[in-house]
Amino acid sequence: MRVMVLVNATEDSEKGFVATPETRAMLEAMGRFNEELVKAGILRMGDGLKPSSQGKRIAFDGPRRTVIDGPFAATRELVAGFWLWDVKDMDEAIAWVKRCPNPMPGPSEIEIRPLYEMADLQ
């Protein structure tokens, strides 16, 4: 089962990365966690995203396309980072997320979403 694990953005993440002793320690802890995922054969890909102020959205309406500049409202609805994992089931994904260090300086959330497999589309 493939899942995308999404780290929800926070007000802190939307400010952009600031190197402090706390953020360095957080990155080191996350690096160790990522190494565990690699050793377990679960991690396929992952990365952090820059703040939405550096992003764009493209709105579709029939043949029209409109470019919208960031930053985007509703910070808690934004994604600050992601992993792509290959796990045996949702329970395994949940177990790994529970082991994850907090990805933000304060309260945060991580969402797990299964990817469609070819069998789901037939």
Q: pLDDT value at position 62?
A: 97
Q: Which residue(s) pair with 48 in the sheet? A: 81
Q: pLDDT value at position 48?
A: 95
Distance CA 14, CA 72 (A): 10
What's the whole-model pTM score? 0.90
Distance CA 29, CA 25 (A): 6
pLDDT per residue as tens, the chain (122 positions): 999 999 999 999 999 988 999 999 999 999 999 999 999 999 999 999 999 999 999 999 999 999 999 999 888 889 999 999 999 999 999 999 999 999 998 999 999 999 999 888 98
